[in-house]
Each structure stands twice: as C-alpha cells, then as structure tokens.
Structure 1
Amino acid sequence: MRVGIAGLSGRMGQMLVLSSLDAGCRVVGGTCRDVEHDEQRLAALTRNGSITLCADMGELAEMSDVVIDFTHVSTVIPHAEALKKAGTAWVLGTTGLSGADQQAVDDAARNIGVVQAANFSAGVTLVLRLAREMGTALPADRFDAEIVEMHHRQKVDAPSGTALAIGEAVAKGRGVKFADVRTPAREGQCGARKTGEIGFAALRGGQIVGEHTLLFTSGTEQIALSHRAFDRRVFADGAVQAAEWLVRQKAGLYNMENVLGLG
C-alpha cells in the first residue's frame, strides 16, 4: 500500500510516517511547505527507503493509493478536489469544517473512499458510540449533558473536534439537531441552564494530549464517561489502521465505527 501523508513535516505528520512504516506500509511521499529544508530534517524518518516531498496535493495524490490528512481546515476543499481527480482514497482527521468544507468531502466520497473522523482512537470511537446510546437512554428533561475537555496549551480551537463529536453523538441519541442544543462556554450573567442544552467547557495547559469527559447529571445521580490519551501516537496508529481498511473499500464516506466493524 502506497501511503501519502499531508503535512509530512509537522508533529502529526512525522508520527504518521513512523506508524505507517511500523505497520509495513510504503510511505511514498508527503506535502510540506519547504521542500529543501524538510528534506534534510526528515531524512532520519526514511529508514531504508525514500520519501518524495511534494509542494501540492495533486502531485502526492497521483503517487499514492491513500493519503492521510491531518492538516489545516483551509486545505480541505483543494485537497478534496485533488484526491477526487486522482481517484485516491482519503483518511481525513482535520476538524473545524464549515458547511462548504463538509460538502466538498461529501462530494469527493461519491468518487473515492473517505474515512473521516474527529478522533482515530479506538477508545474514543467506543466513547462516541456509548455517548449516543446514553443520549437515548437518559432523557434531556431529567439528565443535563455537559462535556469537559482539556488539551495542550498550543491547541488553537475550542471546543476540540472530539468534544463536538461527543456532543453530536448525544444529540443524535436524543433525536435532536446538535446546532439547536449546543451551548458554548458560559461566562457572566448567562442565566439558568436551559433544559436539553449540551454544554461545553474547554481547558488548556501544559502538554496534555487530550482528555474528554461526558457528564450526565440528574437531581439524584451523575454518570461520567471519560477518555484520556497518553500519547499522540494513538491517533497516528488509528489513522494508519483506517488507511489499510479503506483501500479495500468502494467509494463512500466512512467513519471509525466502520473501520472497527461496529457499524
């Protein structure tokens, strides 16, 4: 399997190289901002092979069977177009997509296989499934749903993509639109909590990889569902597992539940 990695020189990109090689995949190339500089810096990652550094996704897509992409949301639309044109499968971990971005992903999935997930950890995938089931079992008029997440101090978006995915799972379980019940961080005289809303609290500090807790609280009890990641490698390993699964599938939009055989 020929694997291409978008954003090869980034922290996640380098982990994806190591995970791919450890899984026995052939890393054929990756996109980067500064080819000459990154060629020297990434030499140690090539092991016994060579990695072609590409200036754009079109070039990378042509040489790859599947591209793993954890880059910036601004790249989603051009990447979708390039991968669709080349017929190359796409593992997408970028979060914070707009409606137009998601439409581009959906359009691409009509022609190529796409695994899209906010988090590629097997544990988080199970948390999302449980969050949906708990949303169904614990009615909004009795149980208030709140999501607390904490990440490293460099993270630029809040709430995290995983936190939002948990909220979406709860909303789906309750049969409501997430946009109608999502409540951002509270501050000041915000009034009493409304029945049915799903609240978020985002904490930042140090080098915490990722912690998420879903709380269902009634007048008489509380249920907490938590996940803690210790190493970013868990996301890279999951993405490579998704890539290996995806190359055997037909065109369509998939998620990690599909990869793990859960749905």
Structure 2
Amino acid sequence: MTALKIAVAGASGRMGKMLVEAISAADDLVLAGALDVPGSPALGTDAGLSLGKPTGVLIESDLAKGLADAAYLIDFTRPEGTLKHLEYCAAHGIKMIIGTTGFDGAGKAAIAAAAQKTAIMFAPNMSVGVNVTMKLLEMAAKSFSHGYDIEIVEAHHRFKVDAPSGTALKMGEVIADTLGRDLNEVGVFSREGVTGERDPSSIGFATIRGGDIVGDHTVLFAGIGERVEISHKSSSRVTYAHGSLRAARFLQDKSTGLFDMYDVLGLR
C-alpha cells in the first residue's frame, strides 16, 4: 500500500506537533511537508526536532516548498492562514482536512467553492467522540423539543482566541436544525443585567476560558422536574489528531467535494 503524503500547517504549534507525531507513528502515512508562519523561529528546523524524532522534513513558510511533495494538508491554524492555504491547495489539487474554527460566512463560502476543485473535509472538531455526541444531541433534541430549555456550556484553555468554540456552535446548529430553528435567530451568546424571562425557543451559550483545559462541552436540556446533560470532555489533543488522520484516509478515493466527520464516521 502506498503511504498517504500529508503536510501539516502550524507544524510548530501544540496541535501541529501532535499531528507530526501521529503521522510519524502511522504505517500508512508519511509526513511530506510542514508549514509555519513567516518569522517563526521554527522555520528551517526539522518538524520532529522538538519531539526528539527527526522526520527529515523541514518547516517552511513558502507554500510551494512546504507542499511540493504533499497530497494532503491538515490545517488547524487561523482562518486567515487557512484561507491562504485553501487557495493554493485548490489550485494544485491538494486535498485538505480543515479543523480551523472561527470562519465567517465568507470564509465558509470560500471553503465550499474550493471543494469544487479538490476534496475537503471540514469540521470544527475532529474527535470521534465529539461527533458521536453530536448524533446523540440530534436524537435528544427530537425528544426534548417542547418544555425543555437548551443551554450549551463550553470550556477551553486560556490561549483560545474565539468564543464560543466552533464545537459549541456546531452543537447549537445541530440542535437548531433538528428543531427547525435558525441558530442565528435563536442563539443567545451573552446575558447581563435585567434580561427578562428566558425565551423558550432560545439556545443559550456560556463560555469559560482558563488554564490548560483542552476542551469540555456540555449541553443541558432543562425541564420542569428533571435535567438531562450530555457532555464530552477532552483530556488530550491526540483525539483530534487521530480523527484528522481518519479523515485523510476517507478522502483517499475522493477527488472533489466537501465532507464532514459525519461522512467520515458514517453517521448520516
């Protein structure tokens, strides 16, 4: 079997290092490129240097050099960086696995347009457990459609720059879609002062930032006399890495198209 040639964006970051390590440990994958932003002190160094496992792949800021041997790019960076990578990958037929969060409508539209030129797996959370949780939320929302208030609470480390998390927003979208609502209309993202009684059709969000929390998400379905909570808690980013590699394998026989983790896991 020919190994899949995968490049990693943000290779010197926390998630990037986890991906480099996971790819290096897989029998059917090979690290074929590593990217980082211009000015990064990691440029020109081996992508596995900080892990004590040299890969022979140097970290580059130039896309042509960093992606010269790659057939796939896994990207967990920032929207502005991912969109630059997206344009290059679409033009050169490089498949993408995008775990970046915080895209606006225009960014999401750009991803959808690029998927007409290359295969893309785009999901706010690559964890297998999180995506199974999404399916459970879909099932729960059908049963708790009346008489239950819905609140989503998420917690992440102090360095996360967007809020609510992409995963929390996706959970809200899944629930809203199941209930026939538009999250843009029913989502409540802040409460302060005299807010009045809760709109029963709303979906509330609460955000916690602190320490080194990898990612906790809880959805409450609060009724009169009972409360159901569905939670997922991450203790390591390795779950995101393994999900990303599973996504790369899924794209192996795809030339174009936009997919998500439901497609990868067969949860449709």
Are 2:105 and 1:107 equivalent residues in the alignment?
A: no
The Cα of 1:216 is off from its aligned counterpart by 0.5
Q: Aligned-pair distance for 1:156? A: 1.6
- Asked if 1:29 corresponds to 2:33, the answer is yes
**C-alpha contact 1:61 1:86 (8 A) present in aligned 2:** no
1:200 is matched with 205
8 Å contact kept, 2:79–2:101 = yes
2: CA distance, partners of 1:184 / 1:257:
26
* Structure 1 portions without partners, runs of 5+: none
SS at the partner of 2:8?
strand
Query: 1:143 and 1:36 mapped to 2: Cα distance?
Result: 51
- Measure, in 1, the Cα distance between the counterparts of 2:242 and 2:89: 22
CA displacement, residues 63-116 of structure 1 (integer Å, 9 cap, x when unaligned): 211100001011233222111001010000001111110011000111111111
CA shift, 1:43, in A, is 4.7
Distance 1:73 1:19, change over 3 A: same
Give, in whole Å, the separation in 1 of the partners of 2:12 and 2:162: 21
Q: Is 1:144 aligned to 2:152, yes or no?
A: no
Alignment: residue pair count: 262
Quick one: structure 1 residues 134 and 36, their matched pair in 2 at CA, closer, same or farther if it must change by over 3 Å? closer
Report the alpha carbon displacement of residue 225 of structure 1 after superposing the two structures with TM: 0.3
Question: Is the CA contact 1:58–1:86 (under 8 Å) kept in the aligned structure 2?
Answer: no
Letter in 2 for 1:182: G
Residue 16 of structure 1 is matched in structure 2 by: 19
1:41-120 mapped onto 2 (5 Å cutoff): 42-44=47-49, 45=51, 47=53, 49-120=55-126
Structure 1: 4+ residue segments shifted above 4 A: none
Alignment-mate amino acid for residue 14 of structure 1: K
Q: Which amino acid aligns with 2:219?
A: L
TM-score, length of structure 1 as denominator length: 0.93
Q: Is the 8 A contact 2:33 2:68 kept in 1?
A: no
Comparing 21-30 and 105-114, the one that deviates more: 21-30
Matched residues in 1 for 2:148 and 2:41: separation?
56
Q: What amino acid does structure 1 have at the position aligned with 2:259? A: Y
Answering whether residue 236 of structure 2 is matched by residue 231 of structure 1, we say: yes
Q: 1:102 to 1:248 in 2, by over 3 A?
A: same
3-state DSSP class of the match of 2:159? coil
Q: Aligned-residue CA RMSD in angstroms?
A: 1.8
